[in-house]
Structures are given as C-alpha cells and as structure tokens.
C-alpha cells in the first residue's frame, strides 16, 4: 500500500457512469452534456470524460485553463460563476469559449467592456434565479431568492434587451442551476414548469431563446454506494424529457458534476491510534478535513469501510482526523469491524468535492491520486 492518505479512482466505474449518461440522454434533441470540472479536475478523471465527448462547465479562469490543458476545445466550454475577474473574462474571450453564463447586469457591462477592448464578441446566457427549493443542504441550495446566484425574474426582460442592444454581445438564452445533491425529481419538474412559464412570457414580449441550460444537481447515494454506484440518470433526464417544452431547434444544456465522478473515488487512510474514552472509542486516522472537508463543511455522510480487518466482531467508533479542529470528524457512532492501529479505511463516494477541495492547512501535504491500490 502506498503512502496514505491518498485518493483512489475506479476508472472502470467512471466509464460505466459515462456510458449511462450517454444511454439515458439519447433521444433528447440538441442536448449537450457538460462536466462541472469544479467537482474534480484531476487529469486521471478528465481523460475519460474527454473521450466520451462531454463539454466542460467552468467557474474560474484556472478551471478554463485546466480544461484546455486536458485537451477540451474552447467551443465545448461554458463559463459560469458569480464573480468573474477581468483576467478570467479576458482569457475566455481570447480562447473563444462557447458561452458566458452571466449572473448580473454589472457583469454584463464588464464583459461588454472587455470584449470591446479586445475586439471580440461574447456569446452569453443569463443565469436566472427561479426561486425553486432544491430540497437539499442549505449550503448547496442555489436557486432561492435569498441566494447570491443569478438574476431574479422581474429584472430579466430589461437586462436581456440591454444585452441585445450591445454589438459585442450575442444573447443566446437562459441558464439555471437550483442546487446540488438533489435526490428527488420534484425540484427538477418544478424547474421545468418555471422555465416553461418564463419562456412563454418572454416570447409574448418578442424575446426568443436559442438555448436553455438547466444546470445540474443530480445527487448520488452516499448511504449505500456499493448497491447504487451509478446515479439515476434515466429519472433525471426523463424529468426534463417529459416536462420541459423546448422550441424547435432549441439547444438544451446540462451541467453534471457530482453525479459523474463521486462514486468512482475513495479516500484511503491509515489508522494511527484507537483511543478509548470514557464514553466513546475514537479511531484516529491520518486523513483529515484537509483531504476531505465535506463532513466538516456540510455535515456530509460518507460510508467508511475497514478494508484490512478480518475481524467479525463489530464495535462502535467515532472516526476522526489529526487536524487541530473539533470539526475534523468523518463520522460518529458508526459500526466497524474491530479496528486496530495500522488498519486501512476507505472513505467512499469521495470522487466529487474531495481531492479538489483539499488544502495545506496545518502545513500538510496535498494527497496524491492513483488508479491502483
């Protein structure tokens, strides 16, 4: 076993997931699937995604550059994000990406200004805040009126008309993203209803849309990942196939991140100590919130498996990391086979928002990644 902690990626499972996306999105006319690179930007992950001809959804200049370095064409890149810096806008303009997803009138003005300076034309879609409850964790809900993302519907018509009057701007359509780790169809169906109503309203005012980007948000099974390694892409795409009323020739874009890569990754960590307290037993491992911050940040659950113990005797443990923070806890009161110093644990479903969010807090080394154990 290599030096822990490290990330292990199952590329075969990633391939299965990508094939399922292709299978269940088939028949959706003019559909384009973009991978949200913020979920995981490791080249080991990006190579199969490129092979399967997905586009890329970026939220920073660094992500745009990572996509280009991995071999993705600028024409496959969409650029979202509520706070695009001037240099990031310039990079996207120089490369000629397919679309900016614009979050405010102020941002529109800056993109127009930068495009004029560079004698470029920017293709844009406006991100709309549809005020749809995604029924997910508050920190990953993005489509409510109180969230910082997008333009509220009453403000939309005037901003669209302003964009249409700018010679450096080509208005393409609308962008939506209501949240992440959504595990039921109702929020997506509600989003479709909102889009249908909005499109009818805009058409009555003489505004037509070339494209609609519905974002992503499809969740995975963190509780039983071995039983459900591939998300319910059929149900997800059917929500839009059966409820979204597209116009003839209209382009439909999806941005999937977690659902593509989460289940193919696991964090491997070694047990340093088993500490007996007065009321609890602590398994102290060499990975921490520096390698996987989701439990500390979102109270997120990841299934933990002892991959080296042969004991059939089960014990109750809190699995914790070495970082000097009380929140550095992977899980509490979980059942594991009798666990000893030197055992290896696998923290499952860690392919999304794991390695990519790791940090050097406490001056720790960043984790390595491999496709082999």
Predicted confidence (pLDDT) per residue in 239-287, tens digit: 999 999 999 999 999 999 999 999 999 999 999 999 999 999 999 999 9
Residues 6+ apart with CB under 8 A from 212: 173, 174, 176, 195, 199, 244, 246, 250, 251, 252, 253
User: Could you tell me if 212 and 243 are in contact, meaning their C-beta atoms sit under 8 angstroms apart?
Assistant: no
Phi then psi for 314, rounded to 5 degrees? -95, 145
Please give the structure tokens belonging to residue 347: 């923290």
Rounded Cα distance, 264 and 11, in Å = 7
Which residue, among 267, 178, 247, has the nearest Cα to 218 in the 3D structure? 178
Ordered by start, the domain boundaries in the chain are 11-261, 263-370
At residue 145 the predicted structure's pLDDT band, cuts being 50, 70 and 90, is: low
**Residue 191 pLDDT exceeds 80:** yes
3-state helix, strand, coil in the chain (%, to 5): 35, 25, 40
pLDDT for the residue 133: 61
Strand duo 77-79 + 99-102: pairing? parallel
pLDDT for the residue 140: 43
Task: Say what the pTM is.
Answer: 0.94
At residue 143 the predicted structure's pLDDT band, cuts being 50, 70 and 90, is: very low
At residue 130 the predicted structure's pLDDT band, cuts being 50, 70 and 90, is: confident
Class of domain 263-370: mainly beta
The yes/no answer on whether domain 11-261 falls in CATH 3.20.20.10 is: yes
């Amino acid at each position: 076993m290599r030096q822990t902690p490290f990330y292990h990626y199952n590329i075969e499972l990633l391939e299965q997931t990508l094939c399922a996306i292709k299978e269940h999105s088939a028949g959706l006319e003019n559909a384009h699937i973009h991978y949200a690179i913020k979920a995981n930007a490791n080249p080991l992950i990006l190579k199969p995604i490129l092979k399967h001809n997905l586009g890329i959804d970026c939220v920073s200049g660094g992500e745009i550059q990572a996509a280009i370095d991995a071999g993705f064409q600028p024409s496959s890149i969409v650029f979202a994000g509520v706070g695009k810096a001037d240099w990031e806008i310039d990079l996207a303009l120089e490369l000629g990406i397919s679309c900016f997803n614009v979050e405010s009138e102020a941002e529109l003005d800056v993109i127009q200004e930068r495009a004029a300076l560079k004698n470029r034309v920017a293709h844009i879609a406006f991100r709309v805040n549809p005020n749809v409850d995604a029924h997910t964790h508050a920190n990953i809900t993005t489509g409510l009126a109180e969230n910082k993302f997008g333009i509220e519907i009453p403000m939309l018509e005037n901003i669209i008309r302003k964009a249409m009057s700018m010679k450096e701007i080509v208005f393409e359509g609308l962008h939506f993203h209501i949240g992440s780790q959504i595990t039921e169809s109702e929020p997506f169906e509600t989003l479709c209803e909102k889009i249908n109503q909005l499109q009818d309203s805009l058409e009555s005012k003489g505004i037509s849309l070339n494209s609609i980007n519905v974002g992503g948000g499809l969740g995975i099974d963190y509780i039983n990942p071995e039983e459900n390694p591939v998300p319910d892409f059929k149900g997800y795409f059917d929500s839009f196939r059966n409820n979204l009323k597209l116009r003839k020739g209209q382009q439909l874009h999806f941005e999937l991140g977690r659902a593509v890569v989460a289940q193919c990754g696991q964090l491997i960590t070694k047990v340093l100590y088993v500490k007996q307290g007065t009321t609890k037993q602590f398994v102290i491992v060499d990975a921490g919130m520096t390698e996987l911050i989701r439990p500390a940040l979102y109270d997120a659950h990841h299934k933990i498996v002892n991959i080296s113990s042969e004991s059939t005797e089960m014990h109750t443990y809190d699995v914790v990391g070495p970082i000097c923070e009380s929140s550095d806890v992977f899980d509490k009161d979980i059942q594991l086979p009798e666990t000893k110093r030197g055992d290896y644990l696998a923290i499952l479903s860690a392919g999304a928002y794991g390695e990519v969010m790791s940090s050097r807090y406490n001056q720790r080394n960043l984790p390595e990644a491999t496709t082999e154990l």
